[in-house]
Amino acid sequence: MKRDKEKDLEGLQNFELLLDQVMTPPAGGPYPVWEAARYSLLGQGKRLRPKLLFAACQLFGPPPAQAPVFACALEMVHTYSLIHDDLPAMDNDDFRRGRPSCHKVFGEATAILAGDLLLNGAYELMAESLVSQPDPGPLAAMEVLARAAGGHGMILGQDRDLAQEGLETASLEQIQKTAQWKTAGLIQAALLMGGHLSGAREQALEVLALCGLAAGIAFQIRDDILDCASNRATLGKTPHKDQAAGKKTFVSLAGLEGAGRLLEEKTQEASLAIRNLSQMGCMTESLEELIRLLVERNY
């Protein structure tokens, strides 16, 4: 058990080193935009999405050579979305990952640019990798990420989230749809990217999509529950924010117990999908463990 943990830690350290390396600033700095992007990216993130990408690869064998670079790109897209979402004009959050948020340290202009740098940089990184090795799997992985992050996915979710703040009421269905776009889509993309990078077949990709969607919704429900129940030291960001902002969440609509039941439901869906993958001959241990952590987390 100890050896496994050490092994995990080593893998993660390698990932942190690569993330640092791909974000090497140009000569002649320091440049505020690079300082800001590195501050937000190389902070205390859980690296959940990269871990999911790796776990999805491991379903099919050792992760292929391109996996770490695509995991970096995924984390960069996630981090850009946090920086922009935290801006005063958006969710106006002063804390993130246990530290002052990007615009609090570097100012709004540099924070906007730093988000842009990370978003564009993710594609720059994938494009560079693809030019030297234009395989269908990595190309599909890039398309999955672009689709999940874009105006039919995460950006649409943030748009809906902003719109729902002003509403008197919202249905559980609407909240679930918004969560799917804003949060679950990128978690689903993490699994699908891993699948595509590993050359998974259509049938496995379909089950991965189901698993990612259920796990992603479960993740958001857990987030809403934690927002009610936790404190800033544990959470690393401002708690009770949703409530204060009058945001419609799974908890505000279904109550703490109802949200708990829905969380259980979605967790079961994800587990079912994992059993399905196991029956296809996939090695599901890493993914199983990760999704358990994801829905049981206290931070």
**What are the residues binding its own copies (CB under 8 A)?**
25-26, 31-34, 37, 80, 84, 87, 89-90, 107-110, 112-113, 115-117, 119-121, 123-124, 127-128, 130-131, 134, 136, 139-140, 142-143, 146-147, 149-152, 155-156, 158-160, 162-163
Residues 234 and 299: beta-carbon distance below 8 Å? yes
Cβ proximity to its own copies, 180 vs 276, nearer residue: 180
Cβ proximity to its own copies, 202 vs 257, nearer residue: 202
CA gap 22, 72 in Å, rounded: 8
Specify the residue for token string 């269905």. 173
Q: How far is the CB of 181 from its own copies (least distance, A)?
A: 9
Cβ proximity to its own copies, 62 vs 134, nearer residue: 134
Residues 179 and 217: beta-carbon distance below 8 Å? yes
Q: How far is the CB of 206 from its own copies (least distance, A)?
A: 18
Q: How far is the CB of 125 from its own copies (least distance, A)?
A: 8
Cβ proximity to its own copies, 95 vs 123, nearer residue: 123
Structure letter (DSSP) for residue 260: H
Q: How far is the CB of 4 from its own copies (least distance, A)?
A: 36
What number of other Cβ atoms are within 10 A of residue 23's Cβ?
Answer: 18
CA gap 54, 16 in Å, rounded: 14
Q: How far is the CB of 161 from its own copies (least distance, A)?
A: 10
- Which residues have a Cβ under 8 Å from the Cβ of 161 and sit 6 or more positions away? 178, 182, 247
In DSSP terms, 99 is beta-bridged to 96
Cβ proximity to its own copies, 12 vs 155, nearer residue: 155
Would you tell me the crossing angle of helices 32-41 and 108-132 to the nearest 10 degrees?
Answer: 80
